[in-house]
Chain A
Amino acid sequence: MWLAPAAQVENKVIAFRLLPTFYKGSSLTSVVVSCIFGWTGIDRAALGVLGAGQRLSRDLAYKHVGLIVGPASDALIAEATKFSDSIAVADHPLLDSYHSETTLTALTEVCKQLNPKAVLLGNDTYCQELVPRLAHRLGGSAAGDALKLSGRNETVLVTRSVYGGKAQATIKLSRAPAILWVRARAQEPAQQQALTTDLTRLTLTLEPNTKIKLVDRQTEMQGTARLEDARVIVSGGRGLGGSEPFTQLRALAEIMGGQMAASRAACDAGWVPAEWQVGQTGKKVSPQLYLAIAISGASQHIMGIADAKTIAAINLDPDAPIFQHCQFGLVEDYRQVVGPLREKLIELLA
């Protein structure tokens, strides 16, 4: 089972306690697990997950376990020790990169060992697909896109947007364990706490999955950082009428060091890649500035930008719903604006 050969790493990073006390005698203490993946490391999203885990475990008076799945470097483990009460590591050669079935099997096995009351994952597409299946295998319940989490009377409550952002629901997950994916970047990042020395290495028996084979993986379509991490986003919608105007928008975005995004209508029309899509079914972004150009602002799109600090819009239609979510806006045909705006911004930002 969870034999912990901690001695091997003992001298390298930090002194770990052998055999964490709270595992002894099965479920003396209940735990909340925040799941971090070795291939992503501890980025802003992972900090959000850990933060949510910290708060939820505090709410429920459970122990907070940081679980590292996949390649766990010493540096990563060292970083993780700052944010949880204990660390569990599930590494295996087959977990060097993500594979849905293998990762799911691994997670299931790990969770069976840790016996958590709640497991938190981030909101990338991998996490999203793992959550319900993991819940099913553990006989628990699941919820996704959690904006707020709280724990009460040993159950987890999740607040999430429903009906395309028209309503917010609070859902009680009555069947433990509660497996969740949270809107990671919208969560307050984890607070540093006393370094834990409680490390467990879990052994896994995994077999390669032959049913699903990864043939090719294309990443970083934009050639830059992730849209979710962008500080400035310039986004275009149906009103642009084609792919050509996006080059103008990109020029505008570049001088602000920003990234490009688009509404679902623009992506569906094939003007820009689907990865640019922001909204209910696209990315949820949280930039300092979201500049929406020729986007009308259906509630489904607003869902994706709810966490933006400042929203500004340029639209010909003063009644476009986007303006109801803007801090400032200009009613004008974007064709008249984008070029001169770029010139002026070059001066101002110089």
Chain B
Amino acid sequence: MISPAKGLTHLMNILVCLKQILDPELPSRDFRIDAAGRDADRNTAGLVMNIFCANALETALQFREKHGGKITVITFGVPSAEEILRKALALRVDSAVLIRSDLSQRPNPWCIARVLAAAIRKLGDFDLVLTGRESGDWGDGQTGALLAEELGRPCVSLADELKADTVNTALVRIRRQTDQGWEALEASTPLVITVTNNEHNVPRIAKTRDVMQAFRQPLTTWSLAELGVDAQSISEDLACTEVVELAIPIKQTHCEWVTGETLDDRISLLAKRIATVVQSA
């Protein structure tokens, strides 16, 4: 908990939702599909914190540095997801919650949003709930928005900058990316925000002392039963989307190398090929 900046009396209570995913840097040729053909095979790949979740966490940390507040991180996943919570603890978040998944299949965003919403109701009031814009595995980009609906709160998506209002403590100023540029918004809390990356929220690295400390910090762990999420709605959620096929696309492009005796020859040839394409375009 960081005390408020001068002039601010209300401390924002921030929740950042995190997801552990298959390392997106797994080389394509190591990528395998599981026997059922419904998901990626974990195989030898590592698990990492989803990059946009890391951007969201960084945004929250910067917000807390500037304006004070309290940050809780939460994840819904298999026991190994504890690793990303420890990573967040090493960045000095105030508390961490792990909701253990005992589901037999990969939860879809509907299911995740329902579980997170139940946890949020149990944890108490958050002024801001932050998620990443999408995950680097299935890339649905729905969890944040669905969570807003579950909680009945407004949602701002693709935010890349977050500031407190200096006068109205229930107000935040958000910059969000759009196709052609950006928008500046003023939004009242409570609020759900999905965060995208920009040059200001590149995730920081943890101090070693904090990394060591993080392993000793307490962690709240809940099962779905403890959250009181009813199994019926979960299975309805899971049934609403079904992966019928998962395949690795075959690429057939053959690159023709631009060759030539001298560099000048090669550039001339390249220029000709480019000009041909441009003129036919």
Contacts and interface: CB of A to CB of B under 8 A. Distances in A.
Q: Do chains A and B touch in the complex (CB under 8 A)?
A: yes
Interface of A: 100-101, 124-126, 128-129, 131-133, 136-137, 140-145, 157, 160-175, 209-221, 226, 228, 231-232, 256-258, 264, 267-270, 274-275, 280-281, 283, 287-289, 291, 298-300, 309-314, 321, 323-332, 336-337, 340-341, 344-345, 348-349
B253 A324 contact: yes
Given A144-B142, A348-B272, A216 B197 contact: no
Contacts of A133: 145-146, 148-149, 155
Contacts of A231: 281
B138 A162 contact: yes
Nearest to A330: B258
Consensus secondary structure, chain A interface: mixed
Nearest to B269: A330
Contacts of B196: 274, 281
Contacts of B80: none
Contacts of A300: 24, 136
B183 A217 contact: yes
B246 A281 contact: no
B241 to A, nearest CB: 5
Contacts of B244: 157, 170-172
Interface of B: 22, 24-26, 28, 31, 33, 40, 52, 109-110, 133-134, 136-142, 145-146, 148-150, 154-158, 160, 173, 177-188, 191, 194, 196-199, 202, 236, 239-249, 251, 253, 255-258, 263-264, 266-268, 270-275, 277-281
A142 B142 contact: yes
Given A275-B180, A300-B24, A269 B257 contact: no
A227 B82 CA distance: 40
B184 A215 contact: yes
A269 B255 contact: no
Contacts of A209: 154
A132 B266 contact: no
A125 to B, nearest CB: 5
A174 B249 contact: no
A126 B157 CA distance: 9
Nearest to A344: B271
22 contacts: A101-B154, A124-B178, A125-B157, A125-B177, A128-B141, A141-B110, A163-B137, A169-B138, A169-B245, A172-B243, A175-B240, A257-B278, A268-B198, A275-B177, A288-B278, A300-B136, A312-B277, A314-B270, A324-B253, A327-B255, A328-B255, A328-B256
B279 A349 contact: yes
Contacts of B280: 288
Given A133-B155, A337-B270, A162 B247 contact: no
B274 A312 contact: yes
Given A218-B182, A328-B258, A329-B257, A168 B249 contact: yes
A267 B199 contact: yes
A219 B197 contact: no
Contacts of B31: 163, 166-167
A132 B146 contact: yes
Nearest to B157: A129
B263 A211 contact: no
Nearest to A288: B281
Nearest to A322: B255
Contacts of B243: 169-172
A141 B241 contact: yes
Nearest to B202: A268
B274 A329 contact: no
B270 A214 contact: no
A213 B160 contact: no
A142 B248 CA distance: 23
Contacts of A348: 271-272, 275
A212 B253 contact: no
Contacts of A213: 185-187
Contacts of A312: 270, 273-274, 277
A344 B275 CA distance: 9
A145 B138 CA distance: 11
Given A132-B142, A141-B240, A221-B180, A330 B197 contact: no
